[in-house]
A and B are shown apart, each in its own frame.
Chain A
Amino acid sequence: MRSRRPAGWLGGVITIDGLVKRRGGKEILAGIGFEARPGRVTGFLGPNGAGKSSTLRILLGLDRAQAGTALVDGVPYPALPDPVRTVGAVLDGSGAHRSRTGRAHLRWVARSAGLPPSRVEEVLALVGLADAARKRVGGYSLGMGRRLALATALLGDPAVLILDEPLNGLDPEGIRFVRTFLRDRARSGRTVLLSSHLMGELAETVDDVVVIDHGRIVATGTLAEVTGAHRNLEDAFFALTSGGGR
Chain B
Amino acid sequence: MIRAELSKLVSLPATWTTLGWTLAVNVLLTFVIAVGDAPVAYSRAGFVVLGVLATCSEYTGGQIRTTLTAMPRRVPQLVAQHTALAALTLPAALVVALSGPLITLAVAGTPVSAWGVAETTAYLTLLTLVSAAVGVLLRHTLAGVGLLLGCLFVAAPFVHEYLPDDMVTLVVSTPVLLIVAALTYRRRDA
**A101 nearest in chain B by CB position:** B11
B161 at the A/B interface (Cβ < 8 Å)? no
B8 — nearest CB in chain A belongs to which residue? A108
* A residues near B164, Cβ cutoff 8 Å: none
Who on chain A is nearest to B3 by CB?
A: A111
A97 B12 Cβ-Cβ under 8 A: yes
Nearest B residue (CB) for A62: B190
With A78-B72, A96-B61 already in contact, the answer to whether A111 and B66 are too (CB < 8 A) is no
Across the interface, B190 reaches (CB within 8 A) one of A63, A84, A93, A96, namely A63
Complex formed: what's the CA distance from A92 to B189 in Å? Answer: 16
Q: Known A97-B57, A100-B12, A111-B3; judge A80-B72 contact (CB<8 A).
A: yes
B61 to chain A, nearest CB (A): 5
Closest-CB distance, A166 to chain B (whole angstroms): 15
Give CA–CA (A97, B15) in the complex, Å: 13
Q: Which residues of A contact B (CB under 8 A)?
A: 57, 60-64, 77-78, 80, 83-84, 87, 89, 91-101, 104-105, 107-109, 111-113, 137, 152
Nearest A-chain residue to B13, judged by Cβ: A99
User: How far is B66's CA from A61's CA once the two chains are assembled, in angstroms?
Assistant: 12
Instruction: Output the nearest chain A residue to B4 by Cβ-Cβ distance.
Output: A112
A112 to B5, CA, bound (A): 8
Q: Mark B1-23, 1 if CB is under 8 A from A, else 0.
A: 10111011001111000000000
25 pairs, CB–CB < 8 Å, chain A vs chain B: A60-B65, A60-B69, A60-B72, A62-B69, A62-B190, A63-B189, A64-B189, A78-B72, A83-B69, A83-B71, A84-B69, A84-B70, A87-B69, A89-B69, A91-B62, A93-B62, A95-B61, A95-B62, A95-B63, A95-B66, A96-B61, A98-B60, A101-B11, A104-B11, A112-B4
State whether A62 touches B13 (Cβ < 8 A). no
Taking CB as reference atom, which chain A residue is nearest B73? A78
Closest residue on chain B to residue A155 by CB atoms: B70
B62:A92 contact, CB within 8 angstroms: yes
When chains A and B are docked, how far (Å) is the Cα of A64 from the Cα of B14? 32
Q: Are B187 and A152 in contact (CB under 8 A)?
A: no
Residues in B47-61 with C-beta less than 8 Å from chain A: 57, 60-61
* B190 / chain A contacts, CB cutoff of 8 Å: 57, 62-63
Smallest CB separation, A194 vs chain B (Å): 16
**B68 lies within 8 A of chain A by Cβ:** yes
> A111 contacts B72, CB within 8 Å?
no
Interface-central residue, B14, B72, B187, by most chain A CB under 10 Å: B72
A112 in contact with B1 (CB, 8 Å):
yes
Chain A residues with Cβ under 8 A from B5's Cβ?
108
Contacts of B73 in A (CB 8 A): 78
Minimum CB–CB distance for B59 against chain A, Å: 9
| Cα separation A89 to B67 with both chains bound (whole Å) | 11
Residue of B nearest to A76 (CB): B72
The 8 Å CB contact of B71, one of A57, A105, A112, is A112
Residues in A whose Cβ lies below 8 Å from that of B14: 99
